[in-house]
Each structure stands twice: as C-alpha cells, then as structure tokens.
Structure 1
Amino acid sequence: MDTAAGRRDHLREFLRGRRARITPDQVGLPVAGRRRTPGLRREEVAVLAGVGVSWYTWLEQGRDITVSAEVLDAIAAALLLTDPERAHLYILAGLNPPCRGGDSGPDIAAETRNLLDAWGTRPAVLRDRYWNVLAYNDTARAVFGFEGPGHNCLVTYFTNPRYLAVPDIWAEAAPAVAAAYRADSAPCPDDPGFGSVVTELASRSPEFARLWSRHDVGPAGQAVNALRHPEVGDLHFDATTLLLADQPDRHMVLYNPRPDTGTADRLDQIRRLRLAPPA
C-alpha cells in the first residue's frame, strides 16, 4: 500500500472513532428518535463543520479529495479535537501540522523543577517555544551569568560576551543556531512571539540579521556550546534539547561537559568559588 492510501485509511478510522465518542448533547444538538450507532451521524458533523454532507462522507471514506486547513479546523472543532488530535488530523489529511496552540502558563511543575535541580553540577534550562528562559538551575545561573527573568536562549547566544569570547567556535555554530530557530518558528509564521524575538535580535546583532536573511533551516537536536567563563576559563558542553511530552510548548536544554576539555573540573571550580566564604 502506498503512503497516501495508507494515510487515508488511517484518516477514515480516526474520523469514525472521534465521531463515535461524541454525543449530540455535547455539541448542542437535539436527540430525536432511536439512534442505531453511538455518537454523531455524518450529516451532523457536516452541519456542525459547515461542509457538505457528501464531501464529509467522502473524506471519512478515505477518498482522494482536496482539503484545506480552514475546513480541517472546522471539522476539528465539530469533533471537539484536542490540539494533538487536530495536528494528527492535519497529518492524516496530507497537510503540514498547524501551529501549536496553547500556553502552559507561568507555573513550573514540581517535577520539572526537580529535574532541573537534579542535573545538579551541570547547567539545565527550561525554555518556551520562543526560546524564552522560564527557569534554570544554580549551575546555569553561574555558567551563563543569568540573573532574574527576561533571558532568551537565542538572544543570549548572539549577544552574551561569554559566547562571543570564543569567536572561532561561536562563528562555526551560529548558522546552525539561527537555522534551528527558523525551523521552530516555521509552523507559526504569523506568531508575533517569534517575530518580536527576531526583530529585537536583528537590531542588536548584525551577524544574526545576516544569517537570518539566508533562510537556512535545521534541527536543534544536539549541539556543541562553548563559552568563556570570567573566573574559570573556557567551558565546552554537549547540549541536548528535550521536549516535555505533556507540555509541548516547553523544552528542557541539558548541558553535559564535553569529554577531554577540562569542563567538568572547571564546573567544580565554579561550585567551590560559590561556596567559598567572602574575603
């Protein structure tokens, strides 16, 4: 079976299953007479979504028809789909997933806070979809010079003197950092949150403005981070970005000392300096 045909088969089963779980009263429809099958009828979904009954029937049958994002959004609303289900509907219909909606808000779950702290003597940062820093552990505060709120990982990379103090490594990695941010922003081209970060940084960093104009796209994945700490010297990290499955607008960046660079020993020096009594 080819990929498109298999996707349409999954679409058929998905729509049938979502329709079967909804009762008319959940969507404000009157219940008249005995219903032979559970859930909504096809014609009821069509009415709720504002599409033709025949067209919706063809879609649910898995026929090869043209769909639009607007129609899929209407069907998603009619079937009371969650954001992950809506994205799944897009994929099964052959469209790019929609911009992820929702915001986890300002609160940091205790489990997330514990994971940040458990990274202990290594830096760990929690960021949102715009790469704004939401929380960090004590080691990240000391390594990156974070104080208080208002930091952004992209802005930090292109403006923090600690990164810029290792120009050869910084220049080699900077294109990939800009490309990763473009990849993250691509599903939401009209989201002002991404736009404000790009606008601010382009005004502060000509090099970022130049790289952004190239329209390169690449994954975040794993990256090598190097910076010069004012007290202990150069630090080299392997950085891994993890998605929080229950909060898809949040990512945790874990920094692990790169082997054979002396970084682990220098992190111990930072810790001892922080614990030392004032002179």
Structure 2
Amino acid sequence: MNRRPELAEFLRTRRARLHPDDVGLPPGSRRRTPGLRREEVAVLAGVGVSWYTWLEQGRDIGASPQVLDAIARALRLNPAERRHLHVLTGLPAPTAEPVDRPVEASLQRFIDGWLPRPAYVIDRHWNFLALNRAAEVVFGHGVDSRNCLYSFFTDVRQRVLVPEWSANARQLVGLFRAEAALFPGDPRFAEMADDLSAVSEEFAALWATHDVAAPEPGLKAVHHPAVGDLLFETVTLDVPSRPGDRLMLYNPVPEHAERLDRLILVAADPG
C-alpha cells in the first residue's frame, strides 16, 4: 500500500465525520462540506494550518509522535485509529494503554480448559491476572502470588521448584529491564524495581548490573517435590483484546506427561 495517499484519505474521512459541536467549537456559517475544516483541526492540535494541510495532502513531511498524538486527540481517534495514524506516517506504532478490567470469562474458561497443563495470563508488569489449577500446583503460584517477579524473589518455594535458581534469576531480571525500556512513560516499572530492591538483595544486585536479556527457546524446567523433574514446552501469546497482556501456555514433553497427570490428580484428591 502507498501510505501517503492512504494517510491523506484517512485524515480527510476522520475530519469529515466530526461536527464543531463534537469538539466544542461554534458551528459557524457557510459550511459547504460536512465535518471540521482543516484549520479547525490544526488549531485543536496546536499545529500550523499549512503544515496540517500538507500532511492531509499526503506530502512527504515529518511528524513527531507527540504531534501525531495531538492530531489523534483533535480528531477523536480511538486507540486502533491512533495506531493506524502512526503506522501510515512511518513511525513505530504507539504503545497501547494497559487494560483496566478483569479477565473475560471466556479467557478464564480457555485456560481452565487447558488442564491438566498449566496456563495463566499476566500483564505488562508481570502481574497474574488469571491462572488455572495446574499453574498453581506446578509453579507454586496461588492467590498470594500477585506478581511473577515478586514471587520468584520473595517466595521460598521458588528456590525449591526452580532448578538453577540463580541463573534463572539473572535471566528474569534481564528480561524485565528489556521490557521496561519498551514503556518509557510507565513509572510502574521503576517503582517495582525499587520495591523489590528493598526486600531482595539478590534482585538489587542483579538490577544494578543493567544487564538485559532476550527470551530464550520455549522450555521451562521445574523440580517438584512430589514427582521430580518436569520439563515444559512453552508458548507465549499476545491477547489482542488486552494490549500488553500475555497468555502463557505450558505443555509437558512427552516423557513427563504422565508425571504431570499424576501430580494434578494427587492435588485434586490427596487421599
């Protein structure tokens, strides 16, 4: 797709669907076409009329993310439209705002249907949003495990369940720092780092190195006191309806499937 003509049509159609009343402007007179005028959009966005006209004409001019966001607000664009505007101008898609609502019942039913294999949903800050019973039993997460990173460094059970805990700790902190860099306007990452540094000397030392890491091939090892070693193939999926949230699915390697079945069965009926 030639983006510049598409950008011109996109801006024109977004402008045409608005009325002065929608944005708090007087209706005026002698309007020959529906919608806002270009100069009105420019004023609302705080940009020059000529510059906005060139942008809407599809000319090859530059625009900063901040200016595009101002235009998005002036045109009352929804999150999908705001992202589309950035893409059409050749800029990276903006970071979506986190979802502030409970996990949908359909998503909870999906992870419950993944039993006896573990599954859970986390947000961009690694907070647990939903878990199935297998995730609780296998990984030691429960109602008191609000956050994956906090749990790893503050729950003594993790040092038993996670083989090579120290190496995994370094990897997790490197991943967290790399992901925090993707959201420079989100203060929660720094707050979490400060909080964890105050309660975990291991985290504080690793955070101070400024090391970063990339996700490794999808395998996760667990040493469970009840059944011994478990190895899982893992898949991480974005949840399109929940920007920033991820669905984590775990499937045991074939030789460990029977161990997992036995563990979940015992957890369901200890007798």
Query: TM-score range, shorter-chain basis?
Result: 0.7 to 0.9
Note the C-alpha offset of 1:89.
2.0
Q: Tell me if the contact between 2:117 and 2:250 (Cα under 8 Å) persists in the aligned partners.
A: yes
CA distance in 1, matches of 2:45, 2:10: 17
2:173–2:206 CA contact under 8 A, matched in 1: no
Sequence identity percentage? 46
Q: Is the 8 A contact 1:123 1:256 kept in 2?
A: yes
Partners of 2:239 and 2:181 lie apart in 1 by 20
Amino acid in structure 1 at the alignment position of 2:27: V
The superposition leaves residues 28-76 of structure 1 with CA deviations (integer Å, 9 ceiling, x where unpaired) of 2222335333322211111111111101111122223232232222111
Point out where structure 2 has 5 or more consecutive residues left out of the alignment.
Answer: none
1:154 is aligned to 2:154: no
Q: Tell me, yes or no, if the aligned pair for 1:162 and 1:227 is still in contact at 8 Å.
A: no
Equivalent position of 2:47 in the other structure: 51
**Bigger mean CA offset, 111-120 vs 243-252:** 243-252
Q: Give per-residue Cα distances to partners, 1:110-166, cap 9 Å, x unaligned.
A: 111111111110111111111111110111111111231443223445565565455
Which of 77, 84, 98 in structure 1 is aligned with 2:73?
77
Residue 129 (structure 1) aligned with residue 155 (structure 2):
no
Question: In 2, distance between residues paired with 1:8 and 1:205?
Answer: 53
Distance 1:176 1:93, change over 3 A: farther
Q: TM-score, normalised by structure 2?
A: 0.85
Look up the match of 1:90: 86
**1:240-259 pair list within 5 angstroms:** 240-259=235-254
Structure-1 residue corresponding to 2:111? 116
Following the alignment from structure 1 to structure 2, what is the Cα–Cα distance between the partners of residues 8 and 252? 36
- Deviates further, 11-20 or 229-238: 11-20
Give 2:16's aligned amino acid. A
Q: 2:26 aligns with which of 2, 23, 30?
A: 30
Could you tell me which residue of structure 2 aligns to residue 145 of structure 1? Answer: 140
Structural mapping, 1:1-279, within 5 Å: 6-33=2-29, 35-105=31-101, 107-157=102-152, 164-165=159-160, 167-168=163-164, 171=167, 177-203=172-198, 204=200, 206=202, 209-210=205-206, 213-216=209-212, 218=214, 220=215, 223-260=218-255, 262=256, 264-278=257-271
Residue 83 of structure 1 and its aligned partner are, at CA, apart by 2.0
CA distance 1:186–1:34, shift in 2 (3 Å): same
- Segments of structure 1 that go 5 or more residues without pairing to the other structure are none
Provide the rounded CA distance (Å) in 2 between the counterparts of 1:37 and 1:13.
15
TM-score, scaled relative to structure 1: 0.83
2:253 and 2:208 map into 1 onto residues whose CA distance is 28
Amino acid at match of 1:72: L
Structure 1 CA distance, aligned partners of 2:166 and 2:62? 46
Alignment-mate amino acid for residue 198 of structure 1: A
Distance apart, 1:167 and its partner CA: 4.1
1:210-234 deviation line (CA, Å, top 9, x unaligned) = 377344353x586211111121111
Q: Secondary structure at the match of 2:218?
A: strand
